[in-house]
Amino acid sequence: MAVQVGECDALWRKTRVGVFGGSFDPIHVGHIAAAEDAAQALGLDKVILVPVGTPPHKERGPFASGEDRLAMAREAVRDRLRLEVSDIEVRRPGKSYTIDTIRELADRLGPGCELWLLVGTDAAREIDSWREAEALLSLARPAVLERPGEPPLDWRSFEGRLPAEAVARLRGGVVRLPHGMRLSSTEVRARLASGGSARGLLPPAVERYIRERGLYGVSTRPPEGG
């Protein structure tokens, strides 16, 4: 991973670092737009994208291997100065929990870093079921990424599920993304598997990687037409 131990300590102010986790199976333009919009809105110095290893909330793992998902994410952020990719969860044996990732990043980066946890609204709705949710929301400032046209969270639904202080931290961290896309990796995989082009849905380098490796059942030959 690119982050270095104690990287933030020597700076005159706290470095604001966003942590954006996901399967990234594959990473698509919606992920990149969300990360860059969040960095702009929150004044983040960098956003670390963290492909998951073995997700605790899914019955089956990702379709592509951890190595392939890491490689695709790195291709996607190439030349994007505020974005980088970490292998912290892919390298971790067993199930990956966000609280462990935040603690490890906090230790590596040092007290000069202010960590922000970037989550979509779907993830935020069930964040009370995450391991050590209260501790997580105290160690990293939450930022709930709300895409255009997306219904806002029902904050009353958190009553009895999280302490009021934790809910207040979530509610105070809502970021309305100006360029959010209603796009899922499931849709991208289906488009590719059917023989179609993912032009406009994937960074070109990511689509090339998928076709070269024959991921998601695609042919190694480029699709005909658009």
Range of the domain at 40: 15-213
Burial 163-192 (b: 16+ CB within 10 A, else e): eeebbebbeebbbebeebbebebeebbebb
Residue 141 sits in a domain of what CATH number?
A: 3.40.50.620
Please indicate, yes or no, if residue 223 is contained in any of the structural domains: no
Please indicate, yes or no, if residue 9 is contained in any of the structural domains: no
| pTM given for the model | 0.89
Task: Answer positive or negative: Cα dihedral of 158, 36, 101, 203.
Answer: positive
List Cα–Cα distances, 82 to 10, 17, 98, 218, 219, in angstroms. Answer: 19, 10, 21, 31, 33
Contacting residues for 164 by C-beta, under 8 A, at least 6 apart: none
Please indicate, yes or no, if residue 157 is contained in any of the structural domains: yes
Identity at 17, one-letter amino acid code: V
Please indicate, yes or no, if residue 221 is contained in any of the structural domains: no
**What's residue 180's pLDDT?**
64
Q: What does the radius of gyration of the chain's CA atoms come to, in whole angstroms?
A: 18
Please indicate, yes or no, if residue 49 is contained in any of the structural domains: yes
Please indicate, yes or no, if residue 46 is contained in any of the structural domains: yes
**What's residue 5's pLDDT?**
45
**What's residue 148's pLDDT?**
83
Strand, helix or coil for residue 149: coil
CA 1 to chain centre: 15
Q: Tell me the C-alpha distance between 136 and 128, whole Å.
A: 10
**What's residue 9's pLDDT?**
53
Please indicate, yes or no, if residue 219 is contained in any of the structural domains: no
Tally of CA atoms within 13 A in the half-sphere of 49 that contains its CB: 32
Query: Tokens at residue 18, please?
Result: 């966003």
Q: Tell me the C-alpha distance between 214 and 70, whole Å.
A: 16
From first to last of the 226 residues of the chain, give the pLDDT tens digit.
Answer: 455 545 565 455 789 999 999 999 999 999 999 999 999 999 999 999 999 987 666 656 689 999 999 999 999 999 999 999 999 999 999 888 999 999 999 999 999 999 999 999 999 999 999 999 999 999 999 999 998 888 889 999 999 999 999 999 999 999 998 876 778 999 999 999 888 888 899 999 999 999 999 999 887 665 554 4
When divided into structural domains, the chain yields a total of 1
**What's residue 22's pLDDT?**
94
Residue found under tokens 């958190």: 158
